[in-house]
Structure 1
C-alpha cells in the first residue's frame, strides 16, 4: 500500500478524532486540543535519543522539523520537543492502535515514494525537495490525513504542560503570549508520581479491555 492507494478511506478513529477536535476548538475558541497528561523522564529521553537514529523516528523527526521549522517568528519542532511529545504519546497514551500503525506506516510510504521520485530517503533531501514531496502526498487522502495527524501533535506539543514531554520551559506559551492555568505539576508531584495513584500502566489498558470483552 502507499499514500496513493485508491481504496484508502479515512478510518473511523480519525473521523472521530477530527470531529472531537473540531468541537473542542469551537467550544474553546482556540486551536489547542485537550491532551491526556503523559509521562516524560530522563529514561525516556535517553531511549528516544537512541531510537531517533533510525526509522521510524529518524524520518518522523525530519518531517516534524520541516512542517514547523525554526524561524525568527517563532519556535520550531525541535524547540518545542515535538518528537519527544509524539514518542510519549505512542509509548504511553491509550490512543487507537490503528493510529499508531498509521503513523509508522506513513514513514514507509513516504520513503518509498521518495525513493521512487528522487532515489533517496526523505531525511537526506534538501528543503525544497522535502516541500515538493510533502505537497505531492498531501494531494492524496491518506497523505493528507497523515500530515494532518502530525500537525495536530505539533499543536499539542507546543501547548501541553512542559512536564509531559513537549513545550520545554513553556516556550510555546511564551511565543503565543498564553498564560497557563495553575497550579502546574512540579517534578515529584506530577500525577503519576503520587503514591497510590495511577499505578496501572496505560499501555495495558487496551489489552485489558479486550480480555474483558
Structure 2
C-alpha cells in the first residue's frame, strides 16, 4: 500500500470509528429504568401538567438519541452521566420515591457535573413535552393541550429533515 493510500485509509478508518463509536452504545434495561425514574422526578404529574410517562419523555429520548442527527457530544454526555449516576447510586431504583427526590435535590445542589447532566435530561424532557408528536414525545399532543397551545401549521410530515 502506498503512503498516501495508507494515510487516506487510516484517516477514514479513524473518522468512521469515531463517528460510530458513540452510536454503538445502547441503553440497558437498567439504564431505561433509571432514566424513567429520573424523568418522573423531573417531570411529575401535576394538576395542570402530564407526567413524563404520559407525554413520553423516555420514548422520545431513546428514539432521538439513536438517530444519526443527534448531537454526538450530547449523546456521550447523557450516556456517560447515566453510567456515572448508576455507579455512584447503584441502589437508586430500590429507594422510595421521597428518598429518590431528596437524593436528586442533594446532588443538584452539591455537584456541578450532576446538575449539568440532569439539566440536559430536563432539556430533552421539555423537547419531548413540547415537540411535535412525530418525534416520539408529546403523546396525543398532551403537552400542547396542557398548555392550551394552538398547533402551528404546517406540521412536519417526516422526521429529521427527510425529503418528501
- Specify the TM-score bucket, using the shorter chain as the normaliser: 0.7 to 0.9
Q: Cα distance, 1:159 vs. partner?
A: 0.7
Contact (CA 8 Å) 1:56, 1:104: kept in 2 or not?
Answer: no
CA RMSD of aligned residues (A): 2.3
Gaps of 5+ in 2: 1-25
The alignment of Structure 1 onto Structure 2 pairs a total of residues equal to 137
- The one of 172, 184, 200 equivalent to 2:143 is 172
Normalised by the size of structure 2, how large is the TM-score? 0.74
- Please, what TM-score do these two structures have when normalized by structure 1? 0.58
Structure 1 position 93, deviation (Å): 4.8
Question: Would you say 1:157 and 2:128 are equivalent positions?
Answer: yes
- Please identify the structure whose Cα radius of gyration is greater: 2
1:191 to 150, 158, 163: 158
Judging changes above 3 Å, is the alpha-carbon distance between structure 1 residues 96 and 163 closer, same or farther for their aligned structure 2 residues? closer
Q: 1:129 aligns with which of 74, 85, 99?
A: 99
In the alignment, structure 1 residue 54 sits paired with structure 2 residue 34? no
Output the CA distance in 2 between the equivalents of 1:156 and 1:149: 11
| Residue 88 of structure 1: how far off its partner (Å) | 1.7
**What is the deviation of 1:52?**
7.2
Higher normalized helix content (fraction of residues): 2
**For residues 45 and 28 of structure 2, what CA distance do their matches in structure 1 show?**
21
Distance 1:162 1:178 in 2: 14
Equivalent residue, structure 2, for 1:182: 153
Which structure 2 residues correspond to residues 1-213 of structure 1 after superposition, within 5 A? 54-115=29-90, 120=91, 122-138=92-108, 139-185=110-156, 190-191=157-158, 197=163
For 2:55, what is the secondary structure of its paired residue?
coil
- Runs (5+) with no aligned partner, structure 1: 1-50, 199-213
